[in-house]
């Protein structure tokens, strides 16, 4: 993936690749909560938007450099998760989804009313016309996120503990796990990179407004990608993000006259995958590792 | 007489107007098996939930190793050495049997590799080794109950609360589970066990506490309790209408 800019010279294509990497990042961060912990966060866009806006405000209004601004954007998203987590993570299932959705809407309305964010007019960031730079930054942020997640969720005990909470919160308590603490940690772990990705996005597209960064789109797309690819795994959301994004890009490139059709097909694919592929695309692929392990201990 | 490991001191638990446990007191001595019996709805599971931190007592207190633990969280109590099983077994169904036990092992072995090693020992002890990579949901009831005990054991508890780990098993499985429980006692774990099957509870308990309508109606060695007129009446129904 590092070689993509060397091969792809077309600016449009490089943008497509950058966006694909971004969606991989958004799907993987969504899955920390949705797949590993069992909480559908319909306010995922709020983390993305907070990161985008903090980055924009610091760069435009305070003259900060991009990197520290985006880092602070990630930290702000993490702080948002900490604050929002306490009341919302007590809720389960649909109630959590509704509460996070409502919180994200509240933040969107807040941004619409504020002066510092430009309200409905949005914000324009200093333009840096280097598609390559943004491809590498996006790839770096998402790559590091993926590696950190892989370590924490697949190698360290943290991932299994989250799954225990997902499977049975009361049962997890009896085993010495503090579900509230674990869920808040997962929420923050999901939020920080999402905020940084939002910051990169803001600088990359040079213009943000409440609809593009804080709207439902980010949460909805991420959910669709995660469900389609396979929840509760790291590779599932990557597969889902690439497939859905490729489908979307191709559709818009060749069949943009049939805009309505896109949503209909997407909806049918999602409904179909929920019914026929409960573990997503990943669920129909063979899992060599587990089988090998089973043989070793047989 | 040794210091009791657990003291239930005048514990009452109300749910709204309903008193599920009413001024119950008893003590459990180290390394004994204490049976807790009583008809359906007598308050046994409620009392378990109070002792293991799932409920805070409305009145009274629970002392564990001399310290007041009333109102402490279940995970804090697990850390102090109280393990428990659930009557409605709570395996993590989407995870493998091995993963279930690894999660419990993290309490004493925070490193993943050590926890896994420990989990294999527990699986061997509970005779679940050949099921290690199956999903916990695919186990039979007997298997799920053994897994439940295994998870509690992986916490390396000093005190174990067993809630109906025998009910619903066939006679062979019952014998295997009894053997397992006696092995635990021999390892020095103190056990408080709720069980409906009298044959089992009479055989393994050193002493019994009998609850009826939330109140303690008898306490003592099994043979003595079995002949207690109050207990007989509670189980078989009174002579008066």
Q: Do B110 and A157 touch (CB under 8 A)?
A: yes
Q: What residue of B is the nearest CA neighbor of A171?
A: B90
Which candidate from A157, A173, A293 shows the least CB-CB separation from B115?
A157
3-state SS string for chain A: CCCHHHHCCCHHHHHHHHHHHHHHHHHHHHHHHHHHHCCCCCCHHHHHHHHHHHHHHHHHHCCCCHHHHHHHHHHHHHHHHHHHHHHHCCCCHHHHHHHHHHHHHHHHHHHHHCCCCCHHHCEECCCCCCHHHHHHHHHHHHHHHHHHHHHHHHHCCHHHHHHHHHHCHHHHHHCCCCHHHHHHHHHHHHHHHHHHHHHHHHHHHCEECHHHHHCCHHHHHHHHHHHHHCCCCCHHHHHHHHHHHHHHHHHHHHCHHHHHHHHHHHHHHHHHHHHHCCCHHHHHCCCHHHHHHHHHHC
Task: Check CB contact of B83 with chain A, cutoff 8 Å.
Answer: yes
Average pLDDT of chain B, as a whole number: 92
Query: What pLDDT is stored for residue A296 in this prediction?
Result: 42
| Distance separating alpha carbons of residues B58 and B22, to the nearest angstrom | 10
Which residue from A171, A297, A147 is spatially nearest to B116, judged by alpha carbons? Answer: A297
Q: Do A175 and B129 touch (CB under 8 A)?
A: no
Q: Do A160 and B102 touch (CB under 8 A)?
A: yes
Q: Do B78 and A176 touch (CB under 8 A)?
A: yes
pLDDT tens string, chain A, 298 residues long: the values are: 777 777 777 888 899 999 999 999 999 999 999 999 999 999 999 999 999 999 999 999 999 999 999 999 999 999 999 999 988 888 887 889 899 999 999 999 999 998 888 888 889 999 888 889 999 999 999 999 999 999 999 999 999 999 999 999 999 999 999 999 999 999 999 999 999 999 999 999 999 999 889 988 889 889 989 999 999 999 999 999 999 999 888 888 887 777 778 878 878 887 888 788 877 787 777 655 444 444 444 3
Share of chain B above pLDDT 70, in %: 98
Which candidate from A155, A157, A173 shows the least CB-CB separation from B74?
A173
Return the H-helix or E-strand segment holding B9.
strand B6-15
Confidence of residue B88 (pLDDT cuts 50, 70, 90): confident
Chain A residues near residue B102 by CB distance under 8 angstroms: 160
Chain A residues near residue B107 by CB distance under 8 angstroms: 175-176
Chain A residues near residue B81 by CB distance under 8 angstroms: none
Query: What pLDDT is stored for residue A94 in this prediction?
Result: 85
Taking 60 as the threshold, does the pLDDT of residue B176 lie above it?
Answer: yes
Q: Do A298 and B151 touch (CB under 8 A)?
A: no
Residue B200 makes CB contacts below 8 A (sequence gap 6+) with B166, B174, B178
Q: What residue of B is the nearest CA neighbor of A289?
A: B133
Confidence of residue B198 (pLDDT cuts 50, 70, 90): confident
Angle at B164 between CA B136 and CA B139, to 5 degrees: 15
Chain A residues near residue B80 by CB distance under 8 angstroms: none
Query: What pLDDT is stored for residue B238 in this prediction?
Result: 56
Query: What pLDDT is stored for residue B80 in this prediction?
Result: 96
List residues of A whose CB lies inside 8 A of any B CB.
155-157, 160-161, 163-164, 166-168, 170-178, 232, 290, 293-294, 297-298
Which candidate from B103, B132, B152 shows the least CB-CB separation from A297?
B132
Q: Do B91 and A171 touch (CB under 8 A)?
A: yes
Q: What residue of B is the nearest CA neighbor of A165?
A: B92
| Distance separating alpha carbons of residues A105 and A113, to the nearest angstrom | 13
Chain A residues near residue B130 by CB distance under 8 angstroms: 298
Q: What residue of B is the nearest CA neighbor of A167?
A: B92
Which candidate from B73, B78, B103 shows the least CB-CB separation from A160?
B103
Q: What residue of A is the nearest CA neighbor of B78?
A: A176
Query: What pLDDT is stored for residue B5 in this prediction?
Result: 95
Task: Check CB contact of B49 with chain A, cutoff 8 Å.
Answer: no
Chain B residues near residue A157 by CB distance under 8 angstroms: 103, 106, 110-112, 115
Which whole-number Å values give the CA distances from A241 to A219, A249, A296, B45, in the listed order?
A: 13, 12, 34, 47
Per-residue pLDDT, averaged over B9-20, amounts to 93
The minimum CA-CA distance between A47 and chain B, rounded to whole Å, is 29
Which candidate from B78, B107, B133 shows the least CB-CB separation from A293?
B133
Does residue B23 sit in helix, strand or coil? strand
Torsion over CA: B108, B113, B118, B120 (sign)? positive
Per-residue pLDDT, averaged over B52-77, amounts to 95
Query: What pLDDT is stored for residue A293 in this prediction?
Result: 41
Chain B residues near residue A176 by CB distance under 8 angstroms: 75, 78-79, 104, 106-107, 155
Query: What pLDDT is stored for residue A287 in this prediction?
Result: 59
**pTM, full prediction:** 0.89
Does residue A128 sit in helix, strand or coil? coil
The minimum CA-CA distance between B211 and chain A, rounded to whole Å, is 24
Taking 90 as the threshold, does the pLDDT of residue B7 lie above it?
Answer: yes
Taking 90 as the threshold, does the pLDDT of residue B34 lie above it?
Answer: yes
Task: Check CB contact of B133 with chain A, cutoff 8 Å.
Answer: yes
Residue B166 has what DSSP assignment? S
Q: Do A290 and B133 touch (CB under 8 A)?
A: yes
Query: What pLDDT is stored for residue A295 in this prediction?
Result: 40
Taking 80 as the threshold, does the pLDDT of residue B73 lie above it?
Answer: yes
Residue B138 makes CB contacts below 8 A (sequence gap 6+) with none
Query: What pLDDT is stored for residue A286 in this prediction?
Result: 65
| Distance separating alpha carbons of residues A72 and A55, to the nearest angstrom | 7
Query: What pLDDT is stored for residue B35 in this prediction?
Result: 95
Chain A residues near residue B132 by CB distance under 8 angstroms: 294, 297
Give the A:B interface size as CB pairs under 8 Å: 87
């Amino acid at each position: 993936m590092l070689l993509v800019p060397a091969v792809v010279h077309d600016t449009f294509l490089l943008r497509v690749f950058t966006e694909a990497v971004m969606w991989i990042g958004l799907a993987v961060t969504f899955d920390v909560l949705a797949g590993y912990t069992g909480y559908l966060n319909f306010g995922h866009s709020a983390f993305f938007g907070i990161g985008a806006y903090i980055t924009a405000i610091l760069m435009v209004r305070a003259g900060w450099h991009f990197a520290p601004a985006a880092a602070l954007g990630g930290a702000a998203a993490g702080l948002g998760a900490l604050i929002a987590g306490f009341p919302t993570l007590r809720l389960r299932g649909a109630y959590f989804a509704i509460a996070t959705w409502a919180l994200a809407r509240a933040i969107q309305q807040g941004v619409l009313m504020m002066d510092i964010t430009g309200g409905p007019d949005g914000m324009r960031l200093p333009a840096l016309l280097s598609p390559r730079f943004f491809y590498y930054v996006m790839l770096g942020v998402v790559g590091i996120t993926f590696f950190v997640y892989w370590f924490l969720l697949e190698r360290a005990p943290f991932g299994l503990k989250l799954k225990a909470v997902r499977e049975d919160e009361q049962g997890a308590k009896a085993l010495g796990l503090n579900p509230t603490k674990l869920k808040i940690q997962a929420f923050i772990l999901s939020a920080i990179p999402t905020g940084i990705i939002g910051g990169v996005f803001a600088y990359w597209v040079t213009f943000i407004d409440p609809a593009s960064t804080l709207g439902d789109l980010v949460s909805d797309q991420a959910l669709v990608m995660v469900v389609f690819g396979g929840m509760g795994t790291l590779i599932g959301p990557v597969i889902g993000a690439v497939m859905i994004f490729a489908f979307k890009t191709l559709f818009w490139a060749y069949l943009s006259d049939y805009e309505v059709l896109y949503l209909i097909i997407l909806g049918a694919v999602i409904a179909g995958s929920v019914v026929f592929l409960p573990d997503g695309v990943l669920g129909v692929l063979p899992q060599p590792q587990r089988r090998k392990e089973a043989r070793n201990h047989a | 007489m040794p210091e009791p490991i657990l003291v239930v001191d005048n514990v009452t638990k109300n749910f709204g107007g309903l008193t599920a446990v009413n001024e119950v007191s008893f003590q459990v001595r180290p390394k004994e098996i204490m049976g807790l019996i009583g008809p359906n709805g007598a308050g046994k599971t409620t009392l378990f939930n109070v002792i293991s931190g799932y409920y805070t007592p409305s009145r009274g207190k629970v002392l564990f190793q001399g310290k007041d633990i009333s109102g402490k969280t279940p995970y804090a109590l697990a850390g102090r050495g109280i393990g428990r099983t659930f009557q409605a077994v709570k395996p993590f169904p989407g995870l493998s049997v091995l993963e279930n036990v690894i999660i419990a092992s993290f309490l004493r072995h925070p490193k993943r590799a050590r926890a896994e090693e420990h989990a294999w020992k527990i699986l061997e002890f509970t005779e679940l080794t050949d099921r290690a990579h199956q999903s916990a949901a695919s186990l039979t009831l007997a298997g799920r109950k053994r897994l439940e005990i295994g998870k509690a054991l992986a916490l390396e508890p000093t005190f174990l609360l067993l809630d109906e780990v025998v009910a619903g098993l066939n006679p062979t499985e019952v014998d295997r589970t009894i053997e397992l429980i006696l092995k635990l006692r021999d390892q020095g774990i103190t056990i408080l066990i709720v069980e409906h099957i009298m044959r089992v509870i009479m055989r393994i308990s050193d002493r019994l506490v009998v609850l009826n309508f939330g109140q303690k109606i008898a306490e003592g060695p099994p043979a003595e309790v079995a002949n207690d007129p109050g207990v007989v009446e509670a189980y078989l129904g009174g002579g008066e209408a």
